[in-house]
Structure 1
Amino acid sequence: MWSRFVLGFLLAITTLITESDGETVKTPLKSKADIFTLLLNQETLIRSSLEKKVIGLVKDVLDMKETIVNNKKEIIYLKHENQELKAKSIKQLKDVKIRMTAMKKENHDLQVGSGRQLKIVKDECVSLNNEIRSLQTKFQHHAKESKLLSADVKESKKTQEKLSSAISSLMDFRNSTSLRKNLIETPVGFTAGVTSSSRSGHGNILVFPHVITNKGHGYSSSSGKFTAPRAGTYVFFVTGVSSSSQYLALDIVHDGVSKVRTDSTGFARYQTGTNLVVLNLKRGNRVWVKCYSGQSYWTHSVPLTTFSGFLL
């Protein structure tokens, strides 16, 4: 009776049927065949939906299995790495323990050695202090003796200074006497000439390279100048012979100032001019001959043109 009621109800109503493409249409149920068709269609749709869900679930399960497998592999790798780290840590810890043991032993040895050295140093300090005390006592004794010696030394220095002063005075007197004697006994005088003629030289110092006499070494044959070795009164001569009827004038110059002049003027050949001057010179003053005018002078291998001087 219940089934009849259901069938009647189904025939009387309009049923919503879901098509396979997902759209919903209104289909009237007219017979049992329509009902069965409807039920089959619904079953098919339900089965298809369940299959899709099952396939999705299977895929999810496979993904979960793969994830679990990967996680297991990673866990195994991490366990292996953890074991290696443990092994390394254990080895490093052993090495550190060995090093610490060695360092403890070395530290102990150093402490023992330091204690011995410290004891030796203390003993040496005590010995040095004893020596210092002994030296201080000796130093005080020597200081007393030094004071006595200092007084004697001062007296000796005073006596020595007096003797030194007397000796210095004697030496100065002796040296001054000897110097005066040498200066008085050492003569100063020179004669120099030229052995070759010249046709030029106006305004220049006339150098007499041929030295005949040079007592006291005051004349320089390279510069032509005489330098007074000591102060005094000097006499200088100059003689100039002109060449081939030429005019020649020579000056005797004292530190840049002309004092006297010769004059060789005439129409004959080889005219001679001569002059003399007496000069008061200080030590180091210089005297030379300058060609005041003229172009040439004449001479032979035995000098004709000469320059001479001496100390009175």
Structure 2
Amino acid sequence: MLSYLFLGILFAARTNSLSSVTDDKAKPTGPDGQTTTCRCRSENAQSDILRQLLNQETLIRMALDKKVSDLVNDMAEMKKYVQKSTKQLQNSKREIETNKQQLQDAKREIETNKQQLLAAKREIETNNQQLQDAKREIKTNNNQLQDAMAEIVSLRNEVLLLRNQNRKMGQLSDGINTSINVVKAEVNQSQKAQLELSSAISSVVSSLEVIRQNMSLLNGPAKDTPVGFTAGITSASRTWEGDILVFPHVITNKGQGYSSSSGKFTAPRDGTYVFTVTAVSYDSDWLTLEIVHDHVSKVRTLSDNSASRQTGTNLVVLELDRGDAVWVRRYSGQGYSGSSAPMTTFSGFIL
């Protein structure tokens, strides 16, 4: 742009100088011969002007050359700057791409951490649930322990009572033997008294035999003690989701083997037992129960949803050792019916 400006100025200066030369050449020549002098002066003036113009042109050309050189240098510098900027831009692009990749990796890592956190939360919830189950089981075991302790106290009291009765029977037997000896002495004194005493001895001996039989019964083994129970449910539920179905309403509990707090029957001695369960479903809900012997399912009931309050029942005969536990467990379903006279019941007895 500057070069064009200087060229325009130079062209305008040359045009003015040529106009001046042309004007000087166009002057008329006088008759007195002064035209030659004027012409010489004019030529000198033109030569001076031409020299000035040439000098100005040279100066302008030098200035233009310097400007052009400066522009070339500036263009070179600018080209280097552009190349440097281009390289920096490429580096920036690569850095941006690297940052994007790192951002994607960070996002994936965050997502992985979220999944791990959710898994940890689920594991914590599972552990909490297991802890709650363990607490319930401990509570059930404590209840069973309390029932067992109560049963032990009851048996201890019965043993003490039997011992007292045995002592009384022993004292009575000693008294009878003394009486027999006295009677025998009197028999030796009198025949008539002997006849009368014979009848009395027979009566006493009979009484003694009865007493001895009673003592044998009192001292007999505990296996003759009856064991049997029946328990039921008096209130209905449609949202029950537990494991062991507890029958809190106890109708019969011979031998104190059934616990109404835990819902489990604990065998007081070895033997063959019969268990039965009857379940009435809530309205038209499914309900399936199991009779369980020490965590092993033995038989199962089914109350389907084909109609309202369907009844499912089953029976099982089990060989139990003392201390074995039997209970009713939920297999599927949530609802069972109840009433003041129980419809859903659990029973068992020893053969």
Q: TM-score, normalised by structure 2?
A: 0.38
Report which of the two has the higher share of helix. 2
Report which of the two structures shows the higher radius of gyration computed on alpha carbons: 1
